[in-house]
Structure 1
Amino acid sequence: MARSKEFEENAVLEKAMKLFWEQGYEKTSMNDLVECMGIHRRSLYDTFTDKRTLFLKAMDRFEDRISTRLAAGAKQSNTALEAVEFVFDFMINGEEDTPPGCMLVNSAVELGIRDADVDAKAKEAFAKVERLLEEIIAWGQRNGEFTKRHDAKALAEVLHNALTGLRVMARTSVDKAKLRRIAKLSMHILEKAAD
C-alpha cells in the first residue's frame, strides 16, 4: 500500500524557492533543503527527483509569482507612469518575508553560462518583464505621457537593463534611497521633449 504524502507540495516548493533564492544553487545542500522543507530526503527525491529538478521548479515558481504580481500592479495603475514606477518600486523593495534581490538574476549570474536550462528560464523571464514594460510604455506613448523619440521596445530594453542592475544592488547593503535615485533617473528616458 502506497503511503500518502504528509506535506503539501506547493508549500514545500515555496520553502525551497526561498532557500535557493537566498543561498543560490551551489551553496544549498540536500541537507539544507531537507531541513528547510521539513520533509524526509526520500520524499524530496520521490516528489522532485533531484536537487536540480527541484531548483528548476523553484525558478518556475519564482517567475510565475513575480510575473503575476507585476502584471496585477501595472493593471491597477491609473497611468503608464504609475505602472512603471510600480515595477521599479516592486523590484527595489521586494516583498515582505522574502530574500532581497531576484532569484532569476541571481541564478543567471551563478549558472546561466554553464546551464542551458537555467539560461533559457532566465532569458524567458527577462523577456516577459521587457514585454510588460513595452506594453506600459506603448500605453504611455499613446496617451501622451512618454516620448515617441524611441520605440517602446527599445525603451523597455533600456529600462529592463536598469532594473536588472537594481535587483543585483538590492542584494547588497546599498541604501534604498540610492536605488530610488537610480530608478528615478533611469525613468527620465521616458520623458517627453520636443518630439
Structure 2
Amino acid sequence: MPRNKEFDYTEKLELARNLFWEKGYHATSMHDIVDAMKLNRSSIYDTYGNKHDLFLKCLSNYSDFKENQYYQALQAKNEGITALENIIRDVVEQTVTDNKACLTVKTIFEIVPEDQEARQLILKSGKSLLAILEKAILQAQEDGNIKSTTSAQIIARYILSSFSSFWSHYNLTQNKKEVMEMVDFLIDQIKK
C-alpha cells in the first residue's frame, strides 16, 4: 500500500524554487535539492520528477506568484495610471528588497536558449503579465492619463523588459535611489 505524503507539496516546491533562484539551474545539484527540500531522492522523484521536471514546476509556481503580484497591485488602485504605477513600483520594490533578479529573467539567460519547455512556459507567463499591464494601460489611455498613441501592447512590453534593466543597475550599483529615479523616468515617459 502506498504511503501518504507527509509533507506540504507547495512548501517543499518553494524551497526548491528558492534554491534554483539562488544558484541557477546548472549549478544546482540533486544533492543540493535533497538538502534544501529535506526529502529523500525517491520522494522527490516520485512527487516532482527529475531535476528538470522539478525546475519546470518551480518556474510555473514562480510564474503564478508573479501573476498574482501584478494582479494584486492592479486591484489595489482603481484608476488606470495609478494601478499601472502601483504595479511598476511594487515589482521594482520587491526586486530591490529581495536583492534577487527575477527567476524568469535568470532562466531566460541561463537555459532558455537550449530548453524549449522553459521557453514555452515563460512565454505563456509573459502573456499573462502583459495582459494585466495592458488592462491598466488601456484604462489610463481611456482616462486621458497616457497621452501617447503608442499601442498598449508595445507600452506593456516596454515596461516588462525594463524590469530586468532596473535589476541590472541595482545589482551593479546597489543604489536604490538611482533605480527609483529610473522608475520615475519610465512612468513620466509612459504618460507623455
- TM-score, normalised relative to structure 1: 0.89
Please state if 1:180 is matched with 2:183: no
Counterpart in the other structure of 1:106 = 106
Q: What are structure 1's unaligned runs of at least 5 residues?
A: none
Identity of aligned residues (%): 24
CA distance in 2, matches of 1:34, 1:96: 29
Task: Kindly indicate whether the alpha-carbon contact (under 8 Å) linking 1:130 and 1:157 is maintained by their aligned counterparts in 2.
Answer: yes
Q: Report the alpha carbon displacement of residue 53 of structure 1 after superposing the two structures with TM.
A: 0.1
CA distance in 2, matches of 1:99, 1:40: 30
Counterpart in the other structure of 1:160 = 160
Offset from partner CA, 1:4-36 (integer Å, 9 cap, x none): 212111110011111111111011111111111
CA distance in 1, matches of 2:65, 2:191: 30
CA distance in 2, matches of 1:44, 1:169: 37
Counterpart in the other structure of 1:46 = 46
SS in 1 for 2:6: coil
Matched to 1:30, the amino acid is M
Please state if 1:6 is matched with 2:10: no
SS in 1 for 2:44: helix
Task: Kindly indicate whether the alpha-carbon contact (under 8 Å) linking 2:16 and 2:37 is maintained by their aligned counterparts in 1.
Answer: yes
- Structure with greater helix percent: 2
Evaluate the alpha carbon distance shift between residue 56 and residue 168 of structure 1 in structure 2; reply closer, same or farther with a 3 A threshold. farther
Counterpart in the other structure of 2:79 = 79
Matched to 1:117, the amino acid is E
CA distance in 2, matches of 1:4, 1:97: 38
Deviates more, 1:147-156 or 1:112-121: 147-156
Deviates more, 1:27-36 or 1:154-163: 154-163
Task: Kindly indicate whether the alpha-carbon contact (under 8 Å) linking 1:17 and 1:55 is maintained by their aligned counterparts in 2.
Answer: yes
CA distance in 2, matches of 1:164, 1:127: 17
- TM-score, normalised relative to structure 2: 0.91
Q: Report the alpha carbon displacement of residue 187 of structure 1 after superposing the two structures with TM.
A: 1.5
Evaluate the alpha carbon distance shift between residue 40 and residue 97 of structure 1 in structure 2; reply closer, same or farther with a 3 A threshold. farther
